[in-house]
Amino acid sequence: MPRTLLGLMVGLLLTTLTASAQETPPNIVILLADDLGINDLSCYGRKDQPTPNLDQLAATGARFTHAYAAASVCSASRAALLTGQNPARLKITTFLPGRPDRASHRVLGGALNDHLPDGVQTLAQMLKSKGYATGAVGKWHLGLQGHLPTNHGFDEYFPGKANPGAESPLGGKGELGQANHAVDFIARHHDKPFFLYLAFDNPHIPLAAPAQSIAANAQAFHPTYAALVESLDVACGRVLQALETHGLSKNTLVIFASDNGGVHVSELKESPPTYNAPSRAGKGYLYEGGLRVPLIVRFPEKIPACEINDPVVLGDLCPTLCAWAKIPAPTPLDFQDISPLLTGSKTAADAKPRAFYWHQPHYMNQGGKPAAAIREGDWKLIEQYEDGSLELYNLAQDPGETNDLAASDPARVAAMRGKLEAWRRSVGAEPVKANPNFSRALWENCFVAIDTSKLKALPTSEAMRPMLVSWHQAMQNAVKDGPNPLIFLEARDAQVKATKLRYEDPPQKDTLGFWVNADDTASWNFKAPLAGKYRVTVLQGCGKDNGGSLVAIEAGASKCEFTVQETGHFQRFVPREIGQIELVAGDNTLTVRPLKKAKAAVMDLRRIILERLDQSGPLRSAFLQPKSFQAINLLALIPYPETE
């Protein structure tokens, strides 16, 4: 054979082999911690919890500084990661099965699916279509029998033991046993593409670690927690070493993350496991401490070692991994492929600020209340579902969310709330409802006597235990029937007698507006479960230089009056308690009637909240007053039921 022809054939063969190698889809390994906070790894600045294996992963990959969970609790966050759909669309918006409704809750949580919906494609199912072997190890928390990983595209599932015992060779939270099974999975599937989803139970409460490890971490904020994080690092190191052993590191995309923020309060018998400062609050909250998570992505020779400051959300991993595996992204898709960020190919055209959305219509065991949030650029808006109040923060200037700018930037508040409402409608987000069995006294014990969103860490976790005892006891009060029925009268449900006044449906409005005629009225027909006096709160907006109108709230012969206050923008709504009104048991009609129009328009009105006054008097115990938190330790008296 002529040498030239032979050379051409060899060259063609090499080109074909090279192309084939390039087309080999990458192995994918997701290492997911459970409740690990944004500050809990030494590569994220923690000084008392060394994590050498994960530090090395970060040094050779992309470390994100503004990565968000898709929810502040596990089931919802995991559902988004595996499907590319927002928890609000999936109707998995809290941990499963969720915190039960109780009298201390002002509102009832939105409807909740008890498992990942059938027919929703998971990342495992999509990768199987490409020939991947798929394995799930560890925590699932997205459904029980009939809805396990093997029902959603995983070839095999090994849950391991979440609480095998402090001295167990499996690790205090089963992390070493789970890692060992993951290593075995890699060994069995090293000769074909695989997807390994290793979801640790570490460092979720209850905390347990070997006595020797706890002693070695005696100087840490929480020695047992630090020992668990150390063991988590060892477990991750075993998996990374298995990739090296089988020569798979170069063609394996490794992701390390946590499902939500760290727990900053007492749960079960634990003192606070960690702290998230400067981020506010922790797991269960839509403040930064509940949503910000560590995220490290390594793919040698494809992703340069770097720090990425752009905001992303864990739901982005699904379409991103689909792109790397060269398979179509799922539909519907609520997140986006962040490959340009990872490879450094992001251009100026990609620089437009991206909006991120959260919908949490539930109370959380850590003190979080029903709320929604939107982040756009450096700005973050939080809408509290209990009363419709709105908070605005500039995260670049105020990462701890301590300075609420809503009053000083009402136009931004109105615009961002409009986008949030438009998004909620687009995904079919479940609304909350007023609790007809509400107890103000029990609510105050949980959410007024101490606001755990503002809890500051002390030098040690144990030092914080006394200040949280009474709060924890209040949170565990499972009474379901309260004496104060709560009623929401929504703008959309009003009967309007008017020439101009009407309900404005667009999401940026969502209000009774065009109230320019003083003779126009709005009424609601509704049933009150109990007769008595009800406190009246209006969710009212009014533009600059338009306040001062006098308005009456009437129900039968009962009436209260209030003067409209400016809020800076007609769609910046502020809850205002304006008086009391008498209702009868059963059918009632409430009418809002302007008595005097001061300026161009009376106001905009989104909601009226009616809360029956407690006829039995206050129930708050003396030890639940804020001034006594430091002095009382009732820990031995508190029952600690299991929690998520």
The pLDDT confidence band at residue 266, using thresholds 50, 70 and 90, is very high
CATH number at residue 366: 3.30.1120.10
Express each pLDDT in 316-356 by its tens digit. 999 999 999 999 999 999 999 999 999 988 765 566 779 99
Confidence (pLDDT) at 621: 38
Cβ–Cβ under 8 Å, residues 464 and 264: no
pLDDT score of 525 more than 60: yes
Clarify whether residues 414 and 335 are in a common domain: no
pLDDT score of 622 more than 80: no
Confidence (pLDDT) at 218: 97
State which of 297, 321, 351 marks the end of a domain. Answer: 351
Cβ–Cβ under 8 Å, residues 372 and 420: yes
Helices (H) and strands (E) in the chain, counts: 14, 26
CATH number at residue 596: 2.60.120.260
Assess if residue 526 is contained within a domain.
yes
Q: What is the mean pLDDT of residues 234-263?
A: 98
Express each pLDDT in 487-498 by its tens digit. 999 999 999 999
Cβ–Cβ under 8 Å, residues 286 and 372: yes
Cα-based angle 291, 294, 300 (whole degrees, multiple of 5): 140
Q: What is the mean pLDDT of residues 52-60?
A: 98
**143/141 Cα distance (integer angstroms):** 6
Express each pLDDT in 278-306 by its tens digit. 999 999 999 999 999 999 999 999 999 99
Assess if residue 5 is contained within a domain.
no
What interhelical angle do 223-245 and 175-188 show, nearest 10? Answer: 10
**472/454 Cα distance (integer angstroms):** 15
Active site residue 74: yes
**Cα–Cα separations (whole angstroms), residue 271 to 11, 168, 452, 456, 466:** 66, 23, 14, 13, 9
Q: Where do the H-state alpha helices sit in 271-386?
A: 288-291, 317-325, 339-343
Cα-based angle 262, 263, 265 (whole degrees, multiple of 5): 150
Confidence (pLDDT) at 16: 41
pLDDT score of 632 more than 50: no
pLDDT score of 627 more than 70: no
Confidence (pLDDT) at 609: 98
CATH number at residue 117: 3.40.720.10
pLDDT score of 617 more than 60: no
Clarify whether residues 203 and 336 are in a common domain: yes
**Cα–Cα separations (whole angstroms), residue 217 to 37, 389, 462:** 18, 43, 14
Confidence (pLDDT) at 22: 52
Clarify whether residues 279 and 391 are in a common domain: no
Which residue is catalytic, options 105, 115, 141, 264? Answer: 141
**Within 13 Å of residue 504, how many CA atoms lie on the same side as its CB?**
18
pLDDT score of 18 more than 50: no
**359/87 Cα distance (integer angstroms):** 8
Q: What is the mean pLDDT of residues 42-47?
A: 96
Clarify whether residues 389 and 344 are in a common domain: no
Give the residue from 636, 534, 512, 520 showing the smallest Cα distance to 582.
Answer: 534
Clarify whether residues 406 and 265 are in a common domain: no
The pLDDT confidence band at residue 104, using thresholds 50, 70 and 90, is very high
The pLDDT confidence band at residue 614, using thresholds 50, 70 and 90, is confident
pLDDT score of 582 more than 50: yes
Confidence (pLDDT) at 186: 98
What is the span of the domain harbouring residue 627?
434-480+618-637
Clarify whether residues 335 and 452 are in a common domain: no
Active site residue 359: no
**Cα–Cα separations (whole angstroms), residue 501 to 498, 586, 606:** 5, 28, 13
Give the pTM: 0.92
What interhelical angle do 440-447 and 465-475 show, nearest 10? Answer: 150
Cβ–Cβ under 8 Å, residues 363 and 643: no
The pLDDT confidence band at residue 15, using thresholds 50, 70 and 90, is very low
DSSP conformational letter for 624: G
Give the residue from 598, 603, 592, 606 showing the smallest Cα distance to 496.
Answer: 592
Q: What percent of the chain shows pLDDT beyond 70?
A: 91
